[in-house]
Amino acid sequence: MYIVVLDNSLVDVWQEVEDIVGDHIFQQNGSKIHTASDTMAWLAGNHIQVTEWPPNSRDLNPNDHCWKRLKHKLHQRLPTMHKTTGEPDTISRCLVEVLDVFWTKNIERDVLESLWESMPTRVATVLDAKGWYTKY
């Protein structure tokens, strides 16, 4: 499933970013789905360089903060979403539809810009903490 998402979403965006900024590195954490051999082979086959991720450093991933905000907004708008019934495929389809709308309409640009601008400070803080937890 993850490779399908990458295939459907990442390749075009990757090329656009490369056209604008030149060489760049894909950032993902060390979860099993991200480091699986099929995933790594797909990324290598598509010439996508992946950053090495230090342990205990979720602090570096601005997506985690976006997901937290997204979950909060989703729960505010649909407080009974967790009670959705049906087969896993049904629930997945429902979540995909809802999250797509929430992601594109409910994560404000200033939030994304703020996270992006905070990256140098986050990296310095994680380095100072030698990879351990930080306030982020």
40 and 63 in a single domain? The answer is no
pLDDT digits (tens, 9 = 90+) for 64-75: 788 788 888 888
Q: Given pLDDT bands bounded at 50, 70 and 90, which one contains residue 115? A: confident
pLDDT digits (tens, 9 = 90+) for 13-40: 888 888 888 888 888 877 888 889 999 9
| Residues in a beta bridge with 50 | 26
83 and 121 in a single domain? The answer is yes
48 and 64 in a single domain? The answer is no
The per-residue pLDDT of the chain, averaged, comes to: 82
66 and 48 in a single domain? The answer is no
126 and 79 in a single domain? The answer is yes
pLDDT for 52 equals 76
46 and 98 in a single domain? The answer is no
Q: Given pLDDT bands bounded at 50, 70 and 90, which one contains residue 42? A: very high
What is the phi/psi pair of residue 53, to 5°?
Answer: -110, 120
13 and 71 in a single domain? The answer is no
49 and 61 in a single domain? The answer is no
pLDDT for 55 equals 57
For residue 127, pLDDT beyond 80: yes
Q: How far apart are CA 68 and CA 64, in angstroms?
A: 6
For 19, the domain range is 1-53
87 and 136 in a single domain? The answer is yes
Q: How far apart are CA 68 and CA 4, in angstroms?
A: 24
For residue 100, pLDDT beyond 80: no
Q: How far apart are CA 54 and CA 136, in angstroms?
A: 15
Kindly report the pTM of this predicted structure. 0.51
Number of domains, the chain = 2
Which helix (H) or strand (E) covers residue 18, if one does? Answer: helix 11-21
87 and 100 in a single domain? The answer is yes
Give the residue-averaged pLDDT of 88-101: 79
Place of tokens 């979860």: 31
Q: How far apart are CA 53 and CA 35, in angstroms?
A: 10
What 3-state DSSP class applies to 26?
A: strand
87 and 76 in a single domain? The answer is yes
Q: How far apart are CA 69 and CA 135, in angstroms?
A: 17
- Residues near 32 by Cβ (< 8 Å), separated by ≥ 6? none
21 and 74 in a single domain? The answer is no
pLDDT for 45 equals 94
